[in-house]
Structure 1
C-alpha cells in the first residue's frame, strides 16, 4: 500500500512537471495568436494581455499585402517538387548502396553522411556563385535542385537503415518471376518503404516550407517566386516593425504546415525506429 501511494505521488509530480513544461513550450503560440488580433499600440503596451478588441481585419490586410494565395502556391510547389525528387532519388541511391556493396558505393555513402555535418553558412557564398554560373538563380528548378542536394544526405541515411530490414528473398522471388531491376524496386521494395517514406516527407516538408535563407539566396529578386517566409519579412523594416501585420502573417504561414505535421507526426517515430535495427 505504501509503494502504491509513493508511485501515485511520484506520478502526480511528474504529470504536474509535464504540464508546466508544456505550458512553457506553448507560451510562444499564445503570444503569437493573441497579438495577431491586436492593434500595434496594444501590442507594444502589453503583449501578454488578452485582446481588448479582436481585430480580425489584420488577417484580411495581410492577405492582400503579401498576396497570400500566390505566396502559398509558390511555397507549395517548391516544397512538393523538392520532396518528390528527394524521396525518389534518395530511396534509389540508398537501395543501390545497400544491395550493391562495393568500395565506390561505400565511399559515396560516407561522402553523403559527411555532408550532414557541414554548416550551411560555410557554403553560402559558393552556392550563390555556382547557381549564378549555372543560371539557376531566380528559377524554380534552381531552388528545387538546391533542396535536392541539401536534403539527400539525411534522407539517404534514413532509407539506408530501413532498406536493410526489407527481406532480400522477396526481391529474389520477383527476379525469378522475370521482373527487371526497376520492377523489383518500384513494385516490391518501394511500397515496403512507406513508413520511412512518410518520415522523410514530413522532415523535409517541415524544413523546406519554413526555410527562409535558401529562397533569399537562390530566388533573389524574383517576386513571382516569393515564398511565405520571405513574404512575411515585408513587415520588418530597418527602423519599424509592423507587429500587428507580421504576427497574422506568421500565423497564416505556419498553419498549413502545422496541420500537416499534426496529421502525420505518428509516422516519424515509427519510420525512424523501424530502420534503426536490422531485421
Structure 2
C-alpha cells in the first residue's frame, strides 16, 4: 500500500471515530447524569459521578407509569410498522411492475410528498380531522402514522423491487400463481433486507415521536416520549429523573435495532440507495 493510500485510510478512520464519538457522547452523558443526584448534575453535568445512585430510575419508573407507557408504545409502534410494511410493499410492487403513466405519476407524487414537513401541515391537518376522529384514540394515531410513513416506505421498497428480475413473476404466472400469491410467496420473502430497513426506520421514527402523540393522546394512552415530559415542571426540572426516563425509553428501541442491524445495512446497500 502506498504512503498516500495509508494516509487516506488513516484520515478515513479518524473522521469515522470522530463522528462516532460525537454521536455516542450525548447518550453517554445522559446515562452518566441519570446516576447522579440533582445538585451534582447542576454542579457539573460533564463530571463522572463519584457516588452512583439508582434512585432516579426507581422514581422515573413509578412517575412515568413505565409499564403502561411501554405497552402503549409497543402497541402503536408494532401495529403501525406492520401495516406500513404490508401496504407499502404491495403498493411498491404494483408501481414497479405496472408501467403506465398513472403509476409513474403516483410514484412521483409519493416522492414529492416526502419533502413536505409535518409541521407545515399540522394546524390544517388537526383542524380537518378533528371533525371525523375522536382524539385520545390509538387507532387514529396509527392511521396518521400510516399516512405519513407510506411515501418513504414505498420509495424504499420500489428501489429494491426494481432489482428483482421480472422473469420470476413470469415463471410464477406460468405455474398458475396469481399476482397476490406470487408476491407473498415468492417476492416478499426475497425482500427481507429492505423490510428490515423499513421496519427500523419507521420504528425509530414512531417510537421516538413526540409531536403527533402529544396532539392526539392524553395521559391514559401516552407513549414513552410523552411520559418523559412529566419531569419538566413549570418552576423546576427533575434532571436526574428525566435522564433516567430517557434511558428507560431508549433501551427497547436500541435492542430492536441491534437485532436487525445486519439486515438494515444489507437493505440500505441493495435497494435504498438505488
Q: Return the TM-score normalized by structure 2.
A: 0.93
1:231 matched to 2:231? The reply is: no
- SS state at 1:88 partner: helix
Matched, 1:134 2:144: no
Q: CA–CA distance in 1 between the matches of 2:39 and 2:205?
A: 34
Give ranges in structure 1 of 5+ residues lacking alignment: none
Query: C-alpha deviations, 1:10-46, integer Å up to 9, x for none?
Result: 6456545543443333221221111101110110011
* Cα contact 2:33–2:240 (8 A) shared by 1: yes
The alpha-carbon distance between structure 1 residues 105 and 274, as it changes in their structure 2 partners (threshold 3 A), is same
- Structure 2, gaps ≥5 residues long: none
* Structure 1 match to 2:94: 96
Other structure's SS at 2:177 match:
coil
Partner of 1:85: 83
Matches of 2:43 and 2:17, distance apart in 1: 29
Find the partner of 1:165 among 153, 163, 166. 163
Q: Structure 1: which 4+ aligned runs deviate by more than 6 Å?
A: none
Give the CA deviation at 1:255. 1.0
Q: How far apart, CA to CA, are the structure 1 residues paired with 2:152 and 2:124? A: 21
**What secondary structure does 1:257 align onto?**
helix
**Structure 1 pair 40–158 and aligned structure 2 pair: CA distance change class (3 A):** same
Please give the secondary structure, in 2, of the residue aligned with 1:239: coil
Pair 11,93 (structure 1): closer, same or farther in 2 beyond 3 Å: closer
The DSSP-based 3-state class of the residue aligned with 1:38 is: coil
**What TM-score results when the alignment is normalised by the length of structure 1?**
0.92
Q: Is the 8 A contact 2:156 2:271 kept in 1?
A: yes
Question: How many Å apart are 1:4 and its aligned residue?
Answer: 5.2
In 2, Cα distance between equivalents of 1:83 and 1:146: 12
**In the alignment, is residue 250 of structure 1 matched against residue 258 of structure 2?**
no
Correspondence 1:215 to 2:186: no
Distance 1:163 1:17 in 2: 34
The count of aligned residue pairs is: 274
Root-mean-square deviation (CA, aligned residues, Å) is 1.9
Displacement after TM superposition at 1:176 (Å): 1.6
> How far apart are the structure 1 equivalents of 2:214 and 2:19?
35
Work out which of the residue numbers 34, 37, 40 in structure 1 matches 2:35.
37
Query: Is the contact made by 2:192 and 2:263 (CA closer than 8 Å) also made in structure 1?
Result: no
CA 1:42 to 1:83, structure 2 compared with 1: closer, same or farther past 3 Å?
same
Matched residue, 2:59: 61
Q: Is the Cα contact below 8 Å between 2:194 and 2:272 reproduced in 1?
A: no
What SS does structure 1 have at the residue aligned with 2:215? helix
1:128 deviates by 1.2
